[in-house]
Structure 1
Amino acid sequence: MWWLLLFVCACHGAPTHDTFTVSAPNGPLSVWIGSSIILPCSVSPAFTASLQVRWHRPDKYKTPVLLYENRQVQEQPADPQYKGRVSLIGQLEKGNVSLKLENVSLADSGEFVCFVAGDTWYEQASVHLIVKVMGSPPVLSVTYGGSGQVNITCVSDGWAPQPNLTWRNNGVTEIPSQNHHSATDDHGLVSVTSWLVHSSSGSKWVACSVGLPEEERKESRILPYISGVDTVELERILRDKEAEMERLKQKSEGPWKEVFISFLVLLLLSSATVFVLYRKGFIKCKDLKEAEAEYRKQDKLETESLLKTQSEEVETLKKTITELQSELDKNKGEVEAHKQQITVKLDRIQRDKEAEMERLKQKSEAQVKELEERLIASGAKVDRLKQESTGLLKTQSEEVETLKKMITELRSELETNKGEVEAHKQQITVELDRIQRDKEAEMERLKQKSEAQVKELEERLIASGAKVDRLKQESTELRSELETNKGEVEAHKQQITVELERKLRDKEAEMECLKQKSEGAFPQNHALLLTWDKLKGFKESPNMDEASVQGNLRAKGKRVQCVKPNRDQPLNTYHFILCKDPFSSGQHYWEMRIENKLSCVLAGLGPSQVVLVDQLQANLPELCFIMFCLYLDYT
């Protein structure tokens, strides 16, 4: 029983004939700008002609990238920016509905949706595309940062997507830096900027490299110092020493001490300058003595100039100090007044602050009290929730125990049914083996039958080939015979044409003769033609008055007599009485035509009257036929 349920479930879980699945890669696809790429998408089971394939962007369903419907790619409606750049790669019958995108642009970055729809079912899958653009090489610049350090900046632009930037010391050790910044322009290209504070003597050179993941990187290098760095350092040292000298001047009593101290300071500065230049590599060891002598000479000149300048500055400073002292005494009163005002303002601010603090204290106490009350209420609520949760836990524990018992029973039942399942499995295996053997035997029989049929068809083809050759030969003979008979047919045709022309001439001569004879008889029959209107009127109205009937029509009784004519007498002197089969009722009439020119109608005027034809006086041609018509109203 279990194997039957499993079979039913498996059948139910299998897709029906009208359903299908659509699959596409999970990860993103990357492509360089300007190149081509295939966006994979497949349908399972295989593609059928009734399916519709629609490639579109997520927000442009109505204007798809490509639409395949009714066994062909539809031109409308389609997104104009993809015209001529997209196509299906073929193999639709195998379920391959992949899209080929050519001349990729930066606007193609993002998601593409593969939508497949049937009559009653549809599925879709998405493909994410990343368009890559190689940016410019990084540009490095150095500025002085103070304290023997430099600020190195690295800039690179024109990348897509956002690249990563790395600093390295001497091209080996990576230098960590958190100072990174990126910006995207209107075209979607990314620019990256990074700066690094580095020691001016810490390494030979510093490198900045920029690139996309798993792609070739672009790198630039720079020396970590700038021209004029030592001059800047010396200027800073001079400023520091000048400040120190100013301090010593204030402590000294006379200008000679100041001059001496200045000389010592300049000497120290010169020594420091030489030391720094030597350390930076601007002066080599072998040139140290010459450089020192040169610097001493320059220092002497600078010292003399500096002494003179310092003396003037000392006098100026003394005057300035005197002026500042007087101004300081003048401003002391103002400072005391401002001090009193500030004291008053500080007292007022202190009082306001204390009042504000008191108000805040009271407010905080009220809030604390309110919070305590809320905590008490929440504690009661928590206790109530604890009780409810305890009851729920107890109920759930009982349900869990019940479920455990049910699981145990189901497991025991499952173990019991395992034997049955195994037995059914063996039966199914045996049955499948038998079906397989029968199938193989049937296949062998069909194979032999098909081979026999193929052999028979080959024999028939050989026989039909011989028959075709024979028919071709007969056809050739018939064609030759037909060509032979064409001459005879043409000869007969000419003979027949000549004969027909002769007969036509004879017929025309005969017609001309008849026409002449007819024109000769017409005057004699003119009297009959004059009565044609009356006869015609009687034909149209056979019940008209007897008095208006033609004189040669008269009544002879109720019976119709048929008299055989005497062929020895001339036709224009014999009385003709023509009749049909006997009748007893109904209306009848007979019509007479003479050479299709003259006509008369004979009819009875009453129910008991019979009209017979009297002798017709007319000179009729020999070849004319006379037919008399009798109309009877016989009841």
Structure 2
Amino acid sequence: HLATCYCYFFSSTNLVVTTTPRVTVTRGRDVILPCWLSPQQNAEDLEVRWYRTNRFDSPLMHYQSKTFKYEEAAYVGRVSFGLKDAASGGLNSGDVSLKLFNVTTKDAGEYVCYVSSSQGYDSAPVNLLVTASGSPPFLSVVWGEDDKVNVSCESEGWYPQPVLRWSDKKQDVKPQSLVYKNLSSGLVLVHSWLLLSSTSEPSCSVGLSDKEVKEAKVSLGTLRKTAKPGKENFCVCVIVILSLFVFDCKYSKS
């Protein structure tokens, strides 16, 4: 997804680099970081560097004298020139956009597009936002004493750190605990729990924005009726995808 505004960085020469300041991509996909010369001119004989901020001497892609030089091992085989749009003419029309393959969470951050010629140079930044949508929330329900119920919610595979919200009968509830864990994959796991009464109807939602929310909910009163007579303590695990409810009930001996 490309931002609708553009950044223009003017130099003292007639070489002007233009970029789209912000680009968002889903983890695992390919992405184009748009960069082009304005006004349009042939870039085949120019020097083009794409590098992470403050790493000019270690570009992830370096093009000079019609030859590619890759400096950072993490990007070898993962970068090339790309087209900023379907109508682009590529290098000979001044399009020096970067194509990055198989994006990871480590790729998130600011990149700089730098172009130079014998007449001068110019550069402009592009901020790459990487997202990953995690698993549906997993609810665990454990009945305790004094009519109290421990309800926990867990979801993993998010990037960046998601927002977890609890509600009871559509009223926001503050959890007793909210913990985030960074996984070796670069993704994030979130876990939370709270104590409620046995008549509650808790809902746990996890997401990066209002448009990317996954939710799990359960009616504790309805679940308790499923308990066998004489059983005071039991655990119920619930996985809910949007409005689809799947119950896995396990009863333990009191």
Same fold (TM over 0.5): yes
Deviations 1:251-273 (A, max 9, x none): xxxxxxxxxxxxxxxxxxxxxxx
C-alpha displacement at 1:44, in angstroms?
Answer: 1.9
Aligned residue number for residue 194 of structure 2: 196
1:119 aligned onto 2:118: yes
1:115 is paired with a residue whose SS is: strand
Aligned residue number for residue 204 of structure 2: 208
Aligned residue number for residue 46 of structure 1: 40
Aligned residue number for residue 24 of structure 2: 30
* Equivalence map 1:87-102=2 (5 Å): 87-89=80-82, 90-102=89-101
Counterpart Cα distance in 2 of 1:117 and 1:176: 56
Amino acid at match of 1:56: Y
2:134 is paired with a residue whose SS is: coil
C-alpha displacement at 1:99, in angstroms?
Answer: 1.0
Aligned residue number for residue 50 of structure 2: 55
With over 3 angstroms needed to count, the CA separation of the structure-2 counterparts of 1:214 and 1:123, relative to structure 1, is: farther
Counterpart Cα distance in 2 of 1:157 and 1:15: 46
Say whether the 8 Å CA contact 1:156–1:192 is kept in structure 2: yes
Counterpart Cα distance in 2 of 1:229 and 1:73: 78
Aligned residue number for residue 83 of structure 1: 76
Q: Which has the larger radius of gyration?
A: 1
Aligned residue number for residue 153 of structure 1: 152
1:92 is paired with a residue whose SS is: helix
1:221 aligned onto 2:193: no
* Equivalence map 1:342-353=2 (5 Å): none
* Equivalence map 1:1-400=2 (5 Å): 18-26=13-21, 28-49=22-43, 50-70=45-65, 72-74=66-68, 76-89=69-82, 90-144=89-143, 146-170=145-169, 173-178=170-175, 179-201=177-199, 203=200, 205-213=201-209, 215-224=211-220, 227=227
C-alpha displacement at 1:34, in angstroms?
Answer: 1.9
Amino acid at match of 2:24: S
- The structure with more helix, counted as a fraction of residues: 1
Amino acid at match of 2:162: P
C-alpha displacement at 1:83, in angstroms?
Answer: 2.6
Counterpart Cα distance in 2 of 1:229 and 1:200: 16
Say whether the 8 Å CA contact 1:87–1:100 is kept in structure 2: yes
Say whether the 8 Å CA contact 1:198–1:224 is kept in structure 2: no
Counterpart Cα distance in 2 of 1:134 and 1:25: 24
Counterpart Cα distance in 2 of 1:40 and 1:215: 26
> Relative contact order (C-alpha < 8 Å, sep 6+): which is higher?
2
Deviations 1:150-187 (A, max 9, x none): 221101112111112222335xx142325422121233
Amino acid at match of 1:199: S
Counterpart Cα distance in 1 of 2:174 and 2:228: 26
Deviations 1:445-473 (A, max 9, x none): xxxxxxxxxxxxxxxxxxxxxxxxxxxxx
With over 3 angstroms needed to count, the CA separation of the structure-2 counterparts of 1:180 and 1:78, relative to structure 1, is: same
Amino acid at match of 1:41: C
1:20 is paired with a residue whose SS is: coil
* Equivalence map 1:581-600=2 (5 Å): none
Deviations 1:464-509 (A, max 9, x none): xxxxxxxxxxxxxxxxxxxxxxxxxxxxxxxxxxxxxxxxxxxxxx
Deviations 1:90-109 (A, max 9, x none): 53343322111122223222
Say whether the 8 Å CA contact 1:166–1:174 is kept in structure 2: no
Deviations 1:536-590 (A, max 9, x none): xxxxxxxxxxxxxxxxxxxxxxxxxxxxxxxxxxxxxxxxxxxxxxxxxxxxxxx
After the TM superposition, which of the residue ranges 186-195 and 139-148 deviates more from structure 2? 139-148
Gaps of 5+ in 1: 1-13, 234-635
Say whether the 8 Å CA contact 2:148–2:197 is kept in structure 1: yes
C-alpha displacement at 1:232, in angstroms?
Answer: 5.6
Say whether the 8 Å CA contact 1:66–1:73 is kept in structure 2: no
Pairs aligned (count): 212
Aligned residue number for residue 436 of structure 1: none
Counterpart Cα distance in 2 of 1:106 and 1:183: 15
Counterpart Cα distance in 2 of 1:146 and 1:23: 65
Q: Once the two structures are aligned, what percentage of the paired residues are identical? A: 38
C-alpha displacement at 1:55, in angstroms?
Answer: 0.6
Say whether the 8 Å CA contact 1:43–1:95 is kept in structure 2: yes
2:106 is paired with a residue whose SS is: helix
C-alpha displacement at 1:68, in angstroms?
Answer: 1.9
C-alpha displacement at 1:77, in angstroms?
Answer: 4.1
Deviations 1:40-84 (A, max 9, x none): 1122233344531101122543332222222x241x343233233
Counterpart Cα distance in 1 of 2:166 and 2:212: 16
Counterpart Cα distance in 2 of 1:127 and 1:146: 56
Aligned residue number for residue 326 of structure 1: none
Amino acid at match of 1:110: G
C-alpha displacement at 1:192, in angstroms?
Answer: 0.7
Counterpart Cα distance in 2 of 1:155 and 1:15: 51
Say whether the 8 Å CA contact 2:70–2:76 is kept in structure 1: no
Say whether the 8 Å CA contact 1:145–1:197 is kept in structure 2: no
With over 3 angstroms needed to count, the CA separation of the structure-2 counterparts of 1:229 and 1:124, relative to structure 1, is: farther
Counterpart Cα distance in 2 of 1:65 and 1:82: 6
With over 3 angstroms needed to count, the CA separation of the structure-2 counterparts of 1:230 and 1:198, relative to structure 1, is: farther
Counterpart Cα distance in 1 of 2:134 and 2:163: 12
* Equivalence map 1:556-575=2 (5 Å): none
With over 3 angstroms needed to count, the CA separation of the structure-2 counterparts of 1:228 and 1:146, relative to structure 1, is: farther
Say whether the 8 Å CA contact 1:144–1:229 is kept in structure 2: no
Amino acid at match of 1:193: H
* Equivalence map 1:478-497=2 (5 Å): none
With over 3 angstroms needed to count, the CA separation of the structure-2 counterparts of 1:120 and 1:218, relative to structure 1, is: same
